Amino acid sequence: MQIHHQRVAEVLQELIAFKSGTTRIPIKSDSWEEIIWATFAFLEGEHKVHWDPQSHEQSVDIVVELEKRVIKISAKSGVIKRGAFLTISSYRLTTFSSLRDKLAFIRHQHMSFDYYLICAREDKREVVRYSLFQVAAERLAPSWLLQPAHWKKESSGYVLKDGFAFKAKIVFKMSNQLWYTIPLTYFSQDESVGDVEIPREAMGRGLLQYLHEKYPQQTGK
């Protein structure tokens, strides 16, 4: 069941533009979660959307009560590199000593929520571009990712062997954190929610505009 439709896409993009006007800091994980919360709170009603910014739950960030079912969302922000690859970080797996146990945990976690909502940032000279995706949980935990035989151990950590649809690694020095490098071509057209470009010169300008309007006699020279 897809939770995004044209109205959700429109509101997400409008809030990215608005939020960018209030800060010069690019949208990352916390602000992306807040944008998702505000979108569904506006469209479905605040009482139907549950989000705890202080939650330490590993997979489910936002829960939305729709008419016929409850949707559990994992919010992810990442960076697009070379215009073609999305890099995102995921679970820290230090607790688990063996690769088999780490992969079993990844499998279990991806059974606990329905969708990723991903905000992928691409930094350009004059603009920041955000590409948005809605991806079913199992798309980032396909069966081939969860097979220990498909991984190899190197000095820096475990690395998914070549020949699969995307790259993944578990980095020892980063608390055994799971990292993905995903070609943008991996995502289907149906998984794309939309794109929005923010001119760098517009970032944070809303703060100054507010102050100019609030204190018109105290404008700096």
Please compute, for residue 162, the number of CA atoms within 13 A of its CA located in the half-sphere on the CB side.
0
In a domain, 33, yes or no: yes
pLDDT of residue 1: 42
In a domain, 139, yes or no: yes
pLDDT of residue 55: 82
The angle at the Cα of 151, spanning 175 to 60, to the nearest 5 degrees, equals 50
The angle at the Cα of 219, spanning 218 to 221, to the nearest 5 degrees, equals 120
Q: How many domains in the chain?
A: 1
pLDDT of residue 23: 95
pLDDT of residue 5: 74
pLDDT digits (tens, 9 = 90+) for 39-80: 999 999 999 999 999 887 788 999 999 888 999 999 999 999
Beta strands (DSSP E) in the chain are 49-51, 62-65, 70-81, 85-92, 115-123, 127-136, 151-154, 157-160, 167-171, 177-183, 192-199
Domain hosting 146: range is 6-218
pLDDT of residue 57: 78
The angle at the Cα of 118, spanning 75 to 93, to the nearest 5 degrees, equals 60
In a domain, 93, yes or no: yes
In a domain, 24, yes or no: yes
CA dist., res. 133 & res. 119, Å (int): 7
pLDDT of residue 218: 76
> What are the residue ranges in the chain where pLDDT is below 70?
1-4, 219-221
In a domain, 32, yes or no: yes
In a domain, 1, yes or no: no
pTM score above 0.85:
yes
In a domain, 146, yes or no: yes
In a domain, 112, yes or no: yes
